[in-house]
Structure 1
């Protein structure tokens, strides 16, 4: 084996190990008061790698820091490839200013220090240049976090700061002043965005959510005026039971749910905490993902079983669980359900624009004619979504809230969700080059007849 081949192989092994770390390091524990035994170096590498791999920063852009309980600031280095960052690349800056490490700290260290000095609650600062957030910074706007229920709670207060030279003391003063006023996310004029959090997990979740909102708004540009969410609903309260046995079939379903959660995230069809996946075990007995989970960190033991109206003890099922139960009770052909907030579909969901599935035969076969439920109706009675579902209408868009797909198994529910976002993207791309010409009624009927689709 040549040296270059060995180096490439070693690099692949290293990044594979990073992903294993991400999958097993549960980012949901931002509110867990137990001790965190993961070294700050590893946390920074894992989170920056994730930012880079999902297109939220560039090779030379972005930086993350963690302030430990001893006052040390652990920060990513300046001028080092973000795609190959290793734990020994991370720099440490002591309270007295002593720098430890083999590189230079990020050039943005001054504003990290300034934020920590004015926000004692902040234990992590994250700055990156995602294309969507940079776009907003170029036009002097903040993404509207009130567009989707729950996202304002994740992002907190969003502010906008004036431009100054990167790495300058003045920039640090400008940004930290916004954080001192209570901002949790700051859009930086002609630069990008910076967020803080009580943990690096919370900071990442805030940045990712803000980026997703920005992407949705950009996708919806030129469509109808944005809708504002209406109403609110509380998640169902469940009696509990103690699970003492899992059949091989249940274990298989749990494993499949974990894999599809990761796949949905890797396909950028969801952001952290905004996904519900379910699979039926038997009558009035099904599995569902937990509330607010991280798709890359989901474990089979995190998944919640709900049987005879009782939830597995010690777990918090997704807020959609009651709706999923109603769908399973009504339709004997429904054995898997997914609900997500994919960015291209959400452009339609947040503007009240009808998503037309009559684009190509494959899209119509997967989705059929898409149904729509208003946000107000959904908030007043989430079970109303089930009224829209039939074998011929297995896909429902809930305005401002997401898309729900039903299938006879997980792969069919996933395919319908993936195809829906694909179709929404195709229509938006077509609008740039001409007028969209959907398949006509006769062609639709020919498809129904040829593929024996349910009426």
Structure 2
């Protein structure tokens, strides 16, 4: 994809998901010739066209109908000091700006992949926007091997080996920041140790053997379409980010289809989905690292036909605090979810039987501390609906905290709901 198209695609994703303002933020890509393609200054991010993207040639010549971003100096300074970085994103996402204006950085040890994707987070002192001094401050931090930098009273800037890599880091860091802020509303944040995160990485299971022969009948292709549609919707609804999220759906007997690993969730296609048949994977593909857990749930629970394992900012607030997620809020929440226990970090590791044993008709979802929420169901749309209800319930509980104590639905009312809707 041409740099102009890469930038338009990414800025649309950032702007329409509330991660920057109409004229705030900027993106650049440096190509093999040393030319820097960059968003223009002061132009509406919601209506940018590819022809609006400016290019600053390696000799300093500027081409395009506008002025390059006023922050171009620090983009160039980053490229000059870090030749391995090929794309830069700067924006003012609300949660990271919150950290910026209190002069601190988010603790990425709250979730394993946040630390792995973002790495250590740098901090750049304030200088006048667009100034060479600001560029020098930021470049100095990047030169110390940071790929993500909180800018004092300004926002955040991240770099990547390409624009997809930079966006994944940007989105993951903002998600981490939102999770911490939401968590602090309801309790105390509990971070993982470096040893916990290392154990998470080391438990990645050995790949299943490959199938000798693969078939793609019409019912299998239909499931692929359902999975990609649900992944896309989850991303659009803010319940899945590009760096994390697994969706699977039973196909026949205990065979199933599942999302892959190391493919950005925003960009998953039908061909990326991995078929698991007779315990073997589709040749040439790598399924989600949680494939073992999905397989065990399907084997133990023939009534379950779909699973979503994801991170959403309000449910994860409960996941990183250990606070009780009480769904006795409104009738719909209890009917859809009943009880949502929180299980310890590591319960999802290969060989652990906790989650497959815990899941039942009365417990269709669990929160895994500092990792994710797992939701099960019959049809995939039903499972996604449960996820939405769970996230909305978590959001309501978090928003209620500053205004009063939850007045839960009583046992008598719950029993009436059980008799009418669940028996």
Please indicate, yes or no, whether the TM-score normalized by the shorter chain is above 0.5.
yes
Deviation at 1:340, TM superposition (A): 0.5
How much does 1:383 deviate? 3.9
Q: Deviations over 1:67-90 (max 9, x none)?
A: 111110110000110000001001
Alpha-carbon distance in structure 2 between the residues aligned to 1:308 and 1:376: 26
Give the Cα separation in 2 of the matches to 1:71 and 1:59: 28
Question: Which residue does the alignment assign to 2:268?
Answer: 298
Choose which of 122, 126, 129 in structure 2 pairs with 1:163.
126
Q: Pick from 129, 137, 143: which aligns with 1:174?
A: 137
Query: Aligned pair 1:264/2:234, yes or no?
Result: yes
1:227 and 2:190 aligned: yes
Aligned partner of 2:14 in structure 1 is 51
Change (3 A) 1:242 1:100: farther
Indicate the residue corresponding to 2:368 in structure 1: 398
RMSD: 1.2
Match of 2:102 in 1: 139
Question: Following superposition of structure 1 onto structure 2, how do residues 39-438 of structure 1 map, counting pairs within 5 Å?
Answer: 39-229=2-192, 230=196, 231-232=199-200, 233-379=203-349, 381-438=351-408
| Inter-partner Cα distance in structure 2 for 1:242 and 1:193 | 48
Q: CA deviation at 1:150?
A: 1.8
Alignment partners' CA distance in 2, 1:257 and 1:376: 26
Secondary structure in structure 2 of the residue aligned to 1:187 = strand
Count of paired positions: 416
Residues 225 and 236 from structure 1, CA distance in 2 versus in 1: closer, same or farther, beyond 3 angstroms? farther
For residues 201-249 of structure 1, what are the alpha-carbon distances to aligned partners after superposition, in whole Å with 9 as ceiling and x for unaligned?
1111100000000110111113332223334221342111145321111
Partners of 1:160 and 1:441 lie apart in 2 by: 51
| 1:214 aligned counterpart, secondary structure | helix
Alpha carbons of structure 1 residues 132 and 243: separation in structure 2 relative to 1, 3 Å = farther
Which ranges of structure 2 fall in alignment gaps of 5 or more residues? none
TM-score, length basis structure 1: 0.89
Q: Distance in 1 between matches of 2:43 and 2:381?
A: 40
- Tell me the alpha carbon deviations over residues 367-425 of structure 1, each in whole angstroms, 9 at most, x when there is no partner: 11112210044447444211111111111110011100110110111111111110000
Q: Distance in 2 between matches of 1:173 and 1:69?
A: 24
